[in-house]
Structure 1
């Protein structure tokens, strides 16, 4: 066992972005021959790695404001999940290989994009459970080979306490409402909504009031995060420009789908002003 001082430089994609967090962690050092299959090149940059989950699809893991917990979604059947549900873990102490973490979502429908609220005693997440108890269907593989994401119109955004009790429903508009993240200032939530017929970014107060649309260009806008001081946001967006691309985007959207294979990164002020494209991710293979 070794004691390693780790400086976690959290980028703007982190759920609780901070310029630097330092903590001491007791764990075993890994080598390229262990189960994580790290290459020598990777070992130059990655140390003190701890695997947290060991089955199912686990993703969207974000820090609590005090960095002691992680919240994430999983469809691990051994935990009784038929599709994505929200769980949380004390990442330094819990053993998820042998023990099930506490579920915070209802266990009904499908969830996505959970995030701690500033008190670390409650969370915000999106769920389809009001649209039905069962998991919404996953799109079948397309004959045209296009890779698509489903945009379930039954997604709404909720808050819950750490016992999983729903405290409030923050959105109640027709269509997709999801991908909510919280400003480090603790005052605002940014999320994606289809309420105008296009996938745009919105902000609202922590209690769901004062909803404001902050993007308006045609195309998917989502995956938004606030900067460490809460003054700016970064997000991914598709911007179809040719007639063909616009037609494809609109046709897929009418089917409740979006194609995430041509995305760009944008930054803007937290109110959506002064938006700038900062990179072009190009087309995925």
Structure 2
């Protein structure tokens, strides 16, 4: 789900950070090489690879493409950048969408959409001066399967409430997603045809942004864990309004059936958008724990046991949504780098260097 903390920053302040042209790649980014910018305008995020490593599916609200809120697109990595062309749209163009992912065979995708709840973009939460930054949890989100011409082939979820953030196991047999069907934001798994739905997390708090390990045996995700009665009440009150405050989250892992739950980070602030390293022993994630400003997010890497924290990206504003190609050779991510002082978030792909 496209969650970007930059929206709360005054535009003039962001522009001042880019008084000089920002680089495409920073010298400290030793794990990245041959970086290429793919998109040029609007917010482009959650780009995920096809199983054959040749295509990306992603969400965008690029106004140059006539969009008012996020819709789903796909592009070939071998093709030119998207500076002067609109890629193939796979969603309906109605409502708002999030979290698309290729299914085995690369002929279909899963994604979540609110279009059954209305053709218009759902309303964003009002940002009050001095108030908390909040994410909307739209109860009209459901998960669909579509082909690469944008035709919906199947609706996978029909429960009342939020069903979204679906990703697919590299084994091609399971989908993990977030749902409010039990009154809380928990993780569930299902077969790729939508059958055999099982709840795998049970603690109070937001569990989301989940991905399988390369062998499909584990799941990594972001979670909030309100501790005090005051925190629990605030969380429940926001959720009742279809909202969640994402400013305190940590990274967790568990087995694919939900057993063996373990917290990986204890960094404070917002740690999210995790993805497994190809080795299955390390995890990349986005965090603002080191930023001098609360909105400054970079990508970090950490061992499964919580040791060996290493910074991977160094943009001054926002880097997030890392995903390795299935062959482990490339990394795609979203960043505010090289955006000319605007709030645009674009997609970048680079070779991964160990």
Alignment TM class, shorter chain as reference: 0.7 to 0.9
Normalized against structure 1, the TM-score is what?
Answer: 0.85
1:108 Cα deviation (Å)?
0.3
- 1:249 aligned counterpart, secondary structure: helix
Equivalent in 208, 215, 220 of residue 229 of structure 1 = 215
- For the Cα contact (< 8 Å) 1:263–1:281, is it kept in 2? no
1:41 aligned onto 2:28: yes
1:267 aligned onto 2:253: yes
Q: 1:281 to 1:164 in 2, by over 3 A?
A: farther
Look up the match of 2:169: 183
Look up the match of 2:96: 110
* Larger RCO (alpha carbons 8 Å, 6+ apart): 2
1:78 Cα deviation (Å)?
1.3
Distance 2:161 2:128 in 1: 23
- For the Cα contact (< 8 Å) 2:44–2:58, is it kept in 1? yes
Equivalent in 114, 119, 122 of residue 128 of structure 1 = 114
Distance 1:133 1:283 in 2: 36
Asked which structure has the greater CA Rg, the reply is 1
Q: 1:225 to 1:39 in 2, by over 3 A?
A: closer
1:93 Cα deviation (Å)?
1.1
1:41 Cα deviation (Å)?
2.8
- 1:181 aligned counterpart, secondary structure: strand
- For the Cα contact (< 8 Å) 1:263–1:280, is it kept in 2? no
- Post-superposition Cα deviations, 1:130-187, rounded to whole Å, max 9, x if no partner, equal 0000000011103442011000000000000000000000000111000000000100
- Post-superposition Cα deviations, 1:45-80, rounded to whole Å, max 9, x if no partner, equal 432011000001000001000000000000011112
Look up the match of 1:53: 39
Equivalent in 80, 94, 97 of residue 94 of structure 1 = 80
1:265 Cα deviation (Å)?
1.1
- For the Cα contact (< 8 Å) 1:265–1:281, is it kept in 2? no
Q: 1:239-254 maps to which residues of 2 (within 5 A)?
A: 239-254=225-240
Distance 2:21 2:108 in 1: 37
Q: 1:146-225 maps to which residues of 2 (within 5 A)?
A: 146-225=132-211
Question: What do you get for the CA RMSD once the two structures are aligned?
Answer: 1.4
| Unaligned runs of at least 5 residues, structure 1 | 1-32
- 1:48 aligned counterpart, secondary structure: strand
Distance 1:97 1:50 in 2: 12
Look up the match of 1:3: none
Distance 1:140 1:90 in 2: 37
1:37 Cα deviation (Å)?
4.6
- For the Cα contact (< 8 Å) 1:266–1:279, is it kept in 2? yes
1:94 Cα deviation (Å)?
3.0
- 1:262 aligned counterpart, secondary structure: coil
- Post-superposition Cα deviations, 1:196-222, rounded to whole Å, max 9, x if no partner, equal 100000000000000000111100000
Distance 2:24 2:39 in 1: 16
1:34 Cα deviation (Å)?
7.4
- 2:221 aligned counterpart, secondary structure: strand
Distance 1:38 1:231 in 2: 34
- Post-superposition Cα deviations, 1:90-149, rounded to whole Å, max 9, x if no partner, equal 022133111110000000000000000011000000000000000000111034420110
Normalized against structure 2, the TM-score is what?
Answer: 0.69
Distance 1:230 1:45 in 2: 25
Distance 1:190 1:128 in 2: 19
- For the Cα contact (< 8 Å) 1:188–1:203, is it kept in 2? yes
1:38 Cα deviation (Å)?
3.5
